[in-house]
């Protein structure tokens, strides 16, 4: 049936058999999808890949092949690898930031426990000592050297 | 380079390696696996077309990224690089969430440390002593808020 050809068979100008491996994933109303995949991977490579995997995984595989093909067409040098690189960088940056903030929390908690110890032994002592300590703490740069 | 020793691609494709072979600079004969994997996923003619469309100075990077993608696809035939991207995105989200929690915690700690300025008529008996400031606490409070801006050069709460 000529009118029922999938996008792959239309592109390859051949008959589309009833068991065409491409037809479930490359409908005729979306020729761009097959064109992208074919341009990057080639029709026979895609066919081989699909044959080597279970039927239930093929739809997902075609989706990811299409995504990667589009990335490669948009960026012929780096493709989707650029995004992976950026994500790795984001991950490193966020890890560093988290480590800094956690260190700051630990530092604050230490300061609080020291203040509490200072306050604890003598509840009747003039509170101006504690105030003065906190005043000094707040106005001077007592933060750890590694906090920028 | 061509000549005596064919490059990995010409060896695999069983053809003469020309002096101007487009693959030779990027697929040396001592690493046959590199071309084999790229050929398996993309096909040699597609790779050749891609390289021909690029300036020479960008071809090495292009080959590296193609090898990376091909490896990812062979390792995971269904998801390829998209699987790695998805995984990394979830890792970044998770860490960002942890960072937000940590930043909120530090804000809480700082707020607990800030002296509370209370009106003169309020009941102060139940407050811990170090929060029981007199009106002179106003000065301290102002200094604390100024210092917060100086210590953290950037906005912690994003």
When CB atoms are compared, the residue of B88, B96, B112 closest to A84 is B88
Query: Distance (Å, rounded) from C-alpha B149 to C-alpha A34?
Result: 56
Are B130 and A45 in contact (CB < 8 Å)? no
Report the pLDDT averaged over residues B78-93. Answer: 96
Confidence at residue B84, expressed as pLDDT on a 0 to 100 scale: 95
Integer Cα distance of A101 and A146 in angstroms? 11
Could you tell me the pLDDT band of residue B46, with boundaries at 50, 70 and 90? very high
B42 contacts A42? CB cut-off 8 A? yes
- A chain contacts of residue B43, beta-carbon cutoff 8 Å: 41-42, 44-45
- Picking from B37, B52, B57, B50, the residue whose alpha carbon sits closest to that of residue A76 is B50
pTM of the model as a whole: 0.71
- CB-based contact A60 B80, cutoff 8 Å: no
C-alpha to C-alpha distance for B26 and A127, rounded to whole angstroms: 75
Q: CB of B74 within 8 A of CB of B66?
A: no
How does pLDDT run across A54-78, given as a tens digit for each residue?
999 999 999 999 999 999 999 999 9
Instruction: Answer with the residue of higher pLDDT: B44 or A143.
Output: B44
Using the 8-state DSSP alphabet, how is residue B130 labeled? G
DSSP string, B59-97: HHHHHHHHHHHHHHHHHSTTTHHHHHHHHHHHHHHHHHH
**A7-28 mean pLDDT:** 94
Select the residue of A40, A77, A81 nearest B46 (Cβ to Cβ). A40
Q: Largest alpha-carbon pair distance within chain B?
A: 97
What's the residue count for chain B?
Answer: 158
Among candidates A47, A16, A19, which has minimal Cα distance to A6? A16
For the cut 80, the answer to whether the pLDDT of residue B128 exceeds it is no
- Mean pLDDT of the region B70-80: 96
* pLDDT score recorded for residue A4: 83
pLDDT value of residue A131: 52
Residues of A in contact with B100 (CB under 8 A): none
Q: Quick one: pLDDT at residue A111?
A: 84
Does the pLDDT at position A9 exceed 70? yes
Identify the band that residue B112 occupies on the pLDDT scale cut at 50, 70 and 90: confident
H runs (alpha helix) in chain A = 7-12, 31-41, 43-51, 55-74, 81-119, 127-139
Percentage of residues of chain B with pLDDT beyond 90:
63
Assess contact for A122 and B124: CB atoms under 8 A. Answer: no
| Per-residue model confidence (pLDDT) at position A69 | 97
On the question of pLDDT at B109 being above 50, the answer is yes
Is B62 in Cβ contact with A78 (below 8 Å)?
A: yes
Q: What pLDDT was estimated at residue B138?
A: 37
- Whether B105 and chain A come into contact, CB under 8 Å, resolves to yes
Q: Which of A44-48, A124-128, B2-6, B91-95 has the lowest mean pLDDT?
A: A124-128
Q: Specify the 3-state DSSP secondary structure of B20.
A: coil
A83 to chain B: which residues are within 8 Å by CB? Answer: 85
**Residue A54 backbone zone (phi > 0: left; psi -120 to 50: alpha; other: beta):** beta
Higher-scoring residue by pLDDT: B9, A118: B9
Residues A87-145: tens digit of each pLDDT: 999 999 999 999 999 999 999 888 888 888 887 665 555 555 555 545 444 444 444 34
ipTM confidence:
0.73
* Residue among A91, A112, A131 minimizing CB distance to B95: A91
The answer for residues whose C-beta is within 8 angstroms of residue A103's C-beta and 6 or more apart is: A144, A146, A147
Query: Residue B2: which pLDDT band, with cuts at 50, 70 and 90?
Result: very low
- Between CA B60 and CA A117 the distance in angstroms is 63
| Residue B11 pLDDT grade (very low, low, confident, very high; cuts 50, 70, 90) | very high
């Amino acid at each position: 049936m000529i009118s029922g050809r999938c996008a792959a068979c239309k592109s390859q100008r051949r008959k589309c058999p009833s068991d065409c491996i491409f037809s479930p994933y490359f409908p005729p109303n979306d020729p761009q999808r097959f064109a992208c995949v074919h341009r990057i991977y080639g029709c026979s490579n895609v066919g081989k890949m699909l044959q080597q995997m279970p039927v239930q995984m093929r739809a997902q595989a075609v989706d990811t092949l299409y995504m990667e093909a589009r990335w490669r067409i948009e960026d012929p040098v780096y493709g989707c690898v650029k995004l992976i690189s950026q994500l790795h960088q984001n991950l490193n940056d966020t890890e560093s930031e988290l480590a800094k903030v956690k260190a700051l929390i630990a530092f604050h908690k230490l300061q609080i426990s020291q203040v509490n110890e200072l306050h604890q032994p003598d509840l009747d002592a003039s509170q101006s000592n504690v105030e003065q300590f906190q005043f000094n703490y707040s106005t001077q740069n007592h933060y750890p050297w590694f906090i920028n | 380079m061509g000549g005596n020793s064919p490059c990995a691609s010409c060896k695999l494709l069983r053809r003469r390696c020309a002096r101007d072979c487009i693959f030779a600079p990027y697929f040396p004969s001592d690493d046959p696996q590199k071309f084999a994997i790229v050929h398996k996923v993309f096909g040699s003619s597609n790779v050749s077309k891609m390289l021909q469309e690029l300036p020479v100075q960008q071809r090495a990077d292009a080959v590296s990224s193609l090898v990376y993608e091909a490896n990812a696809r062979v390792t995971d035939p269904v998801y390829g690089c998209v699987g790695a991207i998805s995984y990394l995105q979830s890792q970044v989200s998770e860490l960002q969430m942890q960072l937000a929690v940590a930043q909120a915690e530090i804000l809480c700690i700082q707020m607990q440390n800030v002296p509370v300025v209370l009106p003169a008529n309020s009941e102060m008996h139940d407050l811990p002593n170090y929060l029981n400031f007199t009106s002179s606490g106003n000065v301290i409070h102002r200094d604390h808020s100024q210092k917060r801006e100086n210590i953290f050069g950037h906005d912690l709460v994003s």
